[in-house]
C-alpha cells in the first residue's frame, strides 16, 4: 500500500509541474525536476533499506550468521548453478536496456 501511495504521489507531482503539456522538441525544466526528484526519492529509499539491513546484520547473533553463511554457500555453489540461474541472470542484465530510465 505504501508503494501505491508513493507512486501516486510521484505521478501527481509530475502532472502538477508541467508534464501534462509535454513537447518533445522543447526543454521542459519541470520534467527534468520531476525525474530528478524521483531519482533522489529512490536513492533515499535504497539507503534506508541498506542501513536497516546493516543494523540487522550487526545485531545478529554469531550462530545465525554461521547458519546463513552455510546456507548461502550451498545455494551458490558451482553444483547448484543451473539453467534457471543463468536465464534469470541474462534477463536481469537485459533489463538495463529494456526498461526506461
pLDDT digits (tens, 9 = 90+) for 7-25: 888 788 777 765 556 666 7
Segment 74-93 shows an average pLDDT of: 89
Higher pLDDT, 82 or 23: 82
Q: Are residues 52 and 69 in the same domain?
A: no
Q: Hey, CA dihedral for 40, 45, 49, 52, is it positive or negative?
A: positive
Assess whether 48 and 78 both reside in one domain. no
Indicate the number of domains in the chain.
2
Model confidence pTM above 0.75:
no
Percent of the chain with pLDDT over 70: 91
Please give the residue range of the domain that contains residue 95.
Answer: 61-101
**Residues 16 and 50 reside in one and the same domain:** yes
Looking at residue 20, what is its pLDDT? 57
Q: Indicate if the pLDDT at residue 89 is higher than 70.
A: yes
Amino acid at each position: 500500500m505504501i508503494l501505491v501511495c508513493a507512486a501516486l504521489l510521484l505521478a501527481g507531482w509530475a502532472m502538477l509541474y508541467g508534464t501534462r503539456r509535454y513537447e518533445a522538441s522543447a526543454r521542459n525544466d519541470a520534467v527534468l525536476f520531476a525525474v530528478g526528484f524521483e531519482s533522489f526519492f529512490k536513492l533515499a529509499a535504497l539507503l534506508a533499506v541498506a542501513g536497516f539491513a546493516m543494523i540487522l546484520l550487526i545485531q545478529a547473533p554469531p550462530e545465525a550468521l554461521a547458519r546463513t553463511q552455510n546456507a548461502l554457500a550451498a545455494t551458490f555453489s558451482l553444483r547448484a548453478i543451473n539453467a534457471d540461474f543463468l536465464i534469470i541472470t541474462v534477463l536481469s542484465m537485459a533489463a538495463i536496456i529494456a526498461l526506461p530510465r
